[in-house]
Structure 1
Amino acid sequence: MGALRVAALELPLIVAGQASESATLAVDQEPPRDIPANASFLATVRNRADIRFPGGTLFLVAAPQRGPIMGETGGSLSTAPDESVDLLITQAQSIVGRDLPPALARACEAGLLALLSVAREREDKGAVDGDPLFRDILADIAANCRQQDYGVAQVAQRYKLNVRTLQKMFQKHGTTIREHITAARLKYAGAALLDPANAGKKVSDIAFEAGFNDIATFNRLFRRTFGRAPSAFRTEANQAAAGVARAEQADIDDIA
């Protein structure tokens, strides 16, 4: 019987995978669960995950979870059918072992991380569907986080809750309201940096538009979330897009 342990170090891991034969997966303190053969799964690993499989192949895609995590403090595992997870596995399998040019490799990486993010957002949605008030507060954060004076006190006032009650609500879901406000601002900033319409804007301008009032804090949080400085993030994305465009044009020229 094969066995594999996946350990989360500084940050929790989001792990997607598929085994060619039935397997069992234990995430953090949860009991082991059966994974059917050729079924995709998605798990949030805060400490460790133990996978046991009788044979065949096991394919995993893992990335650090840099934003807030929904759900209780224990691990989470989903084996529900999800086309975003299936597509993620298929795309990852198609590039394993290939020697890709740097720009194309970065584009592929960005695509895989985007699919993983979509799958993770669906899992988050399932965690909050049974709590309409919490869902409304998350929507309020997404809509208003760009206001620099927006914070815990403003949310509590909007929903007529005391701050402690609001904090407990987020703790129940394994996170904090400050983390969500910051994550929403970073998500906006990341998208704005990739938008060609903002090509002439300074990084600092985008940071202030996203709701940050201190550029040093923004740079530090952005690097922690995206793994690189905002300026490098923008540059690498533009280079990757240009590389894909050149590859597509080369394919067209070859056909012609």
Structure 2
Amino acid sequence: MRPVQTVSLRAGDFDPAVRVDAFKEAVAAICRLDFTPADPAGFQSETSIGVLPTLVTGHGAHSSCNANRTVQLAADAQDNVMVHLPLQGGFTMQQVGGQSIECAPGMIYVDPNEVPGEVSFHGDRTDVFYVSIPRGVLAPATKGLNALMRNGAALTPQWRLFARYARMLHEELGELPPDQALICASHVHDLALMALEGETAHGVEGHHGGVKAARLTLIKSDIEDNLSSPRLSPGWIAGRHGISERYLRSLFASQDTSFQDHVCKRRLLAAYRRLSDPRHVGQSISQIALDVGFGDLSWFNAQFKRNFGHTPSELRARTAV
């Protein structure tokens, strides 16, 4: 098997005359589930799956239906643990030996894949994100894992961090080189262990090296989304991610940079792109500097020349030629 594979399952891709049966057969083969739609004629289901040697991610959107993992299908399942993260709508899950659990956004359900059970998706559309991890990977957090198995729980900050990073990986999986995808998979493992152990990033940093890298990736993504905001500051970002400013500084120091230098370089790059884009030729240099987050034009000009070897005016003049 290749190191990384992506698979898509869409009910709408099958011939309408045999759509439900063909879709059920495909899902049983790939997901080890038996789907029964509430309304066969109007049934809709789409699932994207990312497969790595030690991680499976999935995003499913389904109209009202039941998905049954029979004894036979469960017997063929790998010894994985699946975390279900409802994004929209809700579902009812019951596995052998467990209670009937109602799951909605803001919750997780931890599913031992080898245990038979049934899930009922409610309403016109339910979106769920899934992460499947080999049980052996989670062995260091067996106590926390056993407490959640076949059960639902509210999302903690640690589980939210796990969910956001795993979803980012899922979205980019088709573009990542296999070696980098495998590194990211190890980060997901580390974040799952952190969440299961109920510890903060400070407490597990020495044990799970990927936690720091994963947290910094999310922080950089948040910075990128708020690059032009006047609120962007170490204190504001640290507060949004539930960490101290000191810890934030240590995250950037681990990559031989600082929060201020990272923000400055990202803003400079945003300005460079606009100044070299003919579509923005009508905008003044000062307006572009303000738009990307710089409040001091003299400092912007100096930093721009220092990083790119020419002034904003010189770049614009070259672009106009």
The TM-score normalised by the length of structure 2 is 0.35
Q: Which has the higher contact order (CA 8 A, sep 6+)?
A: 1
Greater strand share, 1 or 2?
Answer: 2
